[in-house]
Structure 1
Amino acid sequence: MTEKVERPNYYAIIPASVRYDNNLPGKASLLYGEITALCNQKGYCWASDSYFANLYGVSKQTIQNWLKALENNGHIVREVIYEEGTQKILHRYIKILVYPTQNNLHTPTQNNLGVNNTSINTTVNNTSNKKHSAANATPLVQLKKDFEEIWKEYPNKQDKGRAFNHYKAWRKKSVNHNNAYLFERLRLYKKHLAANPWKSPMNGSTWFNGRFTDDYELTSSGNSSNNTAPQTREDWFG
């Protein structure tokens, strides 16, 4: 029986990193947009290869090739849930990885998966560690992209290699460890440096080795009224 194709009435997101990725074949970028629409509707994308094949009028093999390309290039991650003790697939879901879209989409949980597939309610095994698994599953290519975004804003570009290793280890500890948090910490650190111009920025590898959690003094240590620090992101990064 052919799976019914329903076009969701939700907006799709195709960021520049996907639109201009020359490594993506065919309509893979459009497929990415469809995935974001489904993620915004339910909190995750559960659609099968047959669904997408019918939607775009191509073979399931073509869809598999597009999904593989999206995953290999760090735009999505696929996770499969098996029936406990077997290799029978109960559910597959797709998560968007490209920052910042991932912060606007919901990560699937045991509960919302159960709402849409009742057979999963009593057969999914070890889902309590899913958040930690998702963090560890972030592809290296995506971690590199995310790191480059914040590295280009850091004022002391020394020991980039070690800085990335620290960043990578920190990111893989939790899905809550993301660039949104680091950009806020960097904004505060730059504000601290502006208020204390006698201080030099830390070596890049030092700051990324957990020093971004420091408490920063945001007022000038001097008496000059000319030490007013910029207040907006544009002032800092513009």
Structure 2
Amino acid sequence: MASYKRHLNKDYTVMPNHHLRNKDLSLKAKGLLSMMLGLPDDWDYSINGLVAISREGRTAVENALKELREAGYVVIRKLYPNQTDSGIIEYEYNIYEFPQDEKVACQDIVYQEAHNQGTCFQTIENHQQLNTYKSNTYNKRNIKEIQFDLTGKEETDKCPDKSTPEIELEIDIYTYNVQIHDEFEELWKLYPNKKGKTNAFKSYERECKKKKNPAKFEEVKKGLIAYCEYIKATNTEIRFVKNGSTWFNQRCWEDDYTIQNGKNNQTNKKAQPEYELL
């Protein structure tokens, strides 16, 4: 009879044997759940991250996650803007040591709709769960990369038949980036001094994606129209009009452009030098 010994020194994970003894789970799903339960609390989760620390491909990891979802070990919820700190729709991945009942599992509705950006792992009260993760991986990806993932043949061949949270998330982020681009183009048509367009767009995109006090298209447009009217009313020469990059970078839509008694009453938030951003 063969025998074996376990040699445990340090840096190991303590977890229940439930999923390891569950005959309904494949070895791949058992291994993935064990790995996720052993990850540190501050680990930045994404499917690409799981692929990076294993020999499995993206499709294999997605299939294992799907198996864990169906078994109740992973529950995915959709959080609406009034439920998140970021004020946008986020997806919440909950990893459990034991399968959850139908009441909890029914919260797994992420495949029903595609929504906005954000992927995170958080704790649901009164249920045993080990780790909490948050990921901004896809927020950092640019439009060209997302387009390739969605339309490139090489990437498409790897995708499963059903949509996954990551694919839906990429679609939403791509749509959001296109929306920001279209908004900026509309604003740029109105701006009188069309210098520094590239940096102006970067500034507008950055301000739109801020978690605190993000730029809102209608407010920016209203401020820009007021600035154009101010320039016209004061007969300001074009060489004294701020470059587009400067105006957007300094959030000048928040300035006061009112004119009282024929006098210049423009007030800036703070004095800053007038120069073209590099």
TM-score (norm 1): 0.40
Richer in helix (by share): 1
- Larger gyration radius, structure 1 or structure 2: 2
TM-score (norm 2): 0.35
